[in-house]
Amino acid sequence: MPELPEVENVARSLKPLEGKRLARLEVIDARVWFESQLDPLHFHRLSLSEVARRGKYLVLRFSPEHVIVQHLRMTGKMLDDGSALLPALLREDPEGPKRLQIRARFHFDQRPMIFFDPRRFGTLTAIADEDAFFAEKGIAPDPIHQEPAARQLFLKRLKDSERPIKPFLLDQSLAAGIGNIYADEALHREGIHPETPAHKVKHPERLWETVLEILARSIEAGGSSIIDYVNAEGLRGSFSAQHLVYGREGEECVSCRAPIRRIVLGGRSTHFCLHCQPKRFRRR
Ligand SMILES: [Zn+2]
């Protein structure tokens, strides 16, 4: 699942669409039009005013009352229609058995785009009030675009929470868009054991700063390409080369050469170095 830096890169790669008129929006797989308050027809002949990101969501703003929130999920990509990144089978036979993998077609003037999504978990949600939508979903403010609101909420909730810090970081109602890779990397850089109760983290402000720094560095590196992520130009990110713990189970810790461990915490695989991130708290 792409996390904040990957979605940020997708959003940036789609910036050239801003100002373009959408002649028509063709929903091919009806399932993609998920929890929408508006009909695709409502977007016809509107110009795309801004491509943005909130947490892990792409936000296509046509007007304050015409917004499409897009969730890429596992395999969703926005590509040029007929892109060389499409499997040959689909390029040659767009009406064939795999036709629903092109889930929607955005007929922008001069630049038709497709939402290509082989596993078909991605969604397009058309809404008339963006802030109300995110409030209703319980998504926290965005750590990059909505500071200091994001930091204030995070620090306030952390103080009172006994949950282990790792699942705390992943909770989208507390911090939007961080995700598994960046949570593991931030905790490692701060020397915090992932099971530490949130309220026992000694320097929560420093942890937040580290999270922001890792997100910023990953955005600059184009994100972490694991599994299937590419931006609209088909470019893959290179931040995975900078991972110190994520996906490195059994390898030597870069700092101390102890083996990187992997545990499952809150249902998610969690990578850390017990030597650099010792347990400094007592279990109750
Ligand atoms: Zn270590």
d(CA 7, CA 49): 18
Is residue 4 a contact partner of residue 58, using CB atoms and an 8 Å limit?
no
Q: Give domain status of residue 282, yes or no.
A: no
Q: Give domain status of residue 28, yes or no.
A: yes
d(CA 8, CA 222): 9
- Final residue before a domain boundary, out of 137, 167, 185: 137
Q: What is the DSSP letter of 19?
A: T
- Final residue before a domain boundary, out of 114, 137, 160: 137
The total of other beta-carbon atoms located within 10 Å of residue 202's CB is 12
How far away, in angstroms, is 18 Cα from ligand 1 center? Answer: 45
Per residue in 112-121, pLDDT (tens digit) is: 999 999 999 9
Give the model's pLDDT for residue 233.
57
Which entry of 53, 54, 56, 261 is annotated as an active-site residue? 56
How far away, in angstroms, is 186 Cα from ligand 1 center? Answer: 14
**Average pLDDT for residues 68-94, to the nearest whole number?**
91
Question: CATH code at 225?
Answer: 1.10.8.50
How far away, in angstroms, is 22 Cα from ligand 1 center? Answer: 52
268 is catalytic: yes
Query: Do 121 and 61 share a structural domain?
Result: yes
Query: Do 166 and 215 share a structural domain?
Result: yes
pLDDT surpassing 80 at residue 41: yes
Query: Do 57 and 14 share a structural domain?
Result: yes
Instruction: Quote the number of domains for the chain.
Output: 2
Question: CATH code at 29?
Answer: 3.20.190.10
d(CA 25, CA 48): 12
How far away, in angstroms, is 246 Cα from ligand 1 center? Answer: 13
pLDDT surpassing 60 at residue 151: yes
Which entry of 24, 98, 120, 268 is annotated as an active-site residue? 268
261 is catalytic: no
Q: Give domain status of residue 44, yes or no.
A: yes
Q: How confident is the model at residue 169 (pLDDT cuts 50, 70, 90)?
A: very high
What percent of the chain is predicted at pLDDT more than 70?
95
Query: Do 238 and 126 share a structural domain?
Result: no
Q: Give domain status of residue 284, yes or no.
A: no
Query: Do 110 and 26 share a structural domain?
Result: yes
Given CA atoms 215, 218, 219, 223 in this order, what sign does their dihedral have? negative
ipTM field = 0.99
Per residue in 126-141, pLDDT (tens digit) is: 999 999 999 999 999 9
Give the model's pLDDT for residue 227.
44
Per residue in 187-241, pLDDT (tens digit) is: 999 999 999 999 999 999 999 999 999 999 989 888 775 544 555 555 567 777 7
Give the model's pLDDT for residue 100.
96
Query: Do 72 and 37 share a structural domain?
Result: yes
Is residue 61 a contact partner of residue 54, using CB atoms and an 8 Å limit?
no
Per residue in 233-252, pLDDT (tens digit) is: 555 677 777 899 999 999 99
Query: Do 157 and 75 share a structural domain?
Result: no
56 is catalytic: yes
Give the model's pLDDT for residue 232.
55
Query: Do 109 and 19 share a structural domain?
Result: yes
Domain containing 107: what range? 4-137
Q: Give domain status of residue 279, yes or no.
A: no
Q: How confident is the model at residue 89 (pLDDT cuts 50, 70, 90)?
A: confident
Query: Do 71 and 26 share a structural domain?
Result: yes
How far away, in angstroms, is 20 Cα from ligand 1 center? Answer: 50
Phi, psi of 283 (to 5 degrees): -70, 145
Q: Give domain status of residue 132, yes or no.
A: yes
Query: Do 154 and 103 share a structural domain?
Result: no
For 208, the token pair is 């937040």
